[in-house]
């Protein structure tokens, strides 16, 4: 089991160091994901997640104003159903509210939360209007 407090977040000491060194280390938990750079800056992470149902979903994690803003999680190669809950108006996946984001969170944490979202999304697609954890139909 993943310990979110230490495995997917940065410690105060790590926050004082080279963030990308620690981010790369934590990203190893998701070997299908790689950082992408442009003009010497890391701009995104891309990869794919496999679900318990045996499906594979490509994702692009866009890092605009990172680490001060919540990254955008976009489907890559597949569309989110337009009526699915927990997505932003631009079609990106909502794993948390922007006001919940903290700078010690990492790209690996975002990917872990996207994996949980994908599991719930598959249940929602299979069972109609039921999204696990909401306590009611949506």
Q: What is the DSSP letter of 63?
A: -
- Given a cut of 50, is residue 138 above it in pLDDT? no
Tens digit of pLDDT for each residue in 9-24?
A: 999 999 999 999 999 9
In order of start, what are the domains of the chain with their CATH numbers? 4-127 (3.10.110.10)
Tens digit of pLDDT for each residue in 123-134?
A: 999 987 789 886
DSSP E strand boundaries for 41-86: 41-50, 56-62, 72-76
Cβ atoms < 10 Å from Cβ of 41: 9
Which whole number is the average pLDDT over 107-122? 96
- Can you give the pTM of this predicted structure? 0.91
């Amino acid at each position: 089991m993943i310990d979110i407090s230490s495995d997917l977040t940065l410690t105060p000491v790590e926050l004082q160091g080279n963030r990308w060194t620690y981010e790369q280390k934590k990203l190893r938990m998701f070997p299908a994901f790689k950082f992408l750079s442009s003009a010497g800056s890391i701009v995104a992470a891309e990869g794919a997640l496999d679900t318990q149902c045996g499906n594979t979903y490509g994702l692009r994690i866009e890092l605009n104003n990172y680490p001060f803003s919540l990254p955008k999680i976009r489907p890559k190669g597949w569309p989110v159903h337009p009526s699915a809950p927990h997505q932003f108006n631009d079609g990106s996946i909502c794993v948390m509210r922007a006001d919940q984001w903290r700078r010690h969170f990492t790209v690996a944490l975002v990917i872990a939360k996207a994996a949980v979202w994908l599991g719930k999304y598959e249940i929602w697609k299979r069972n109609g209007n039921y999204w696990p954890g909401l306590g009611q139909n949506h």
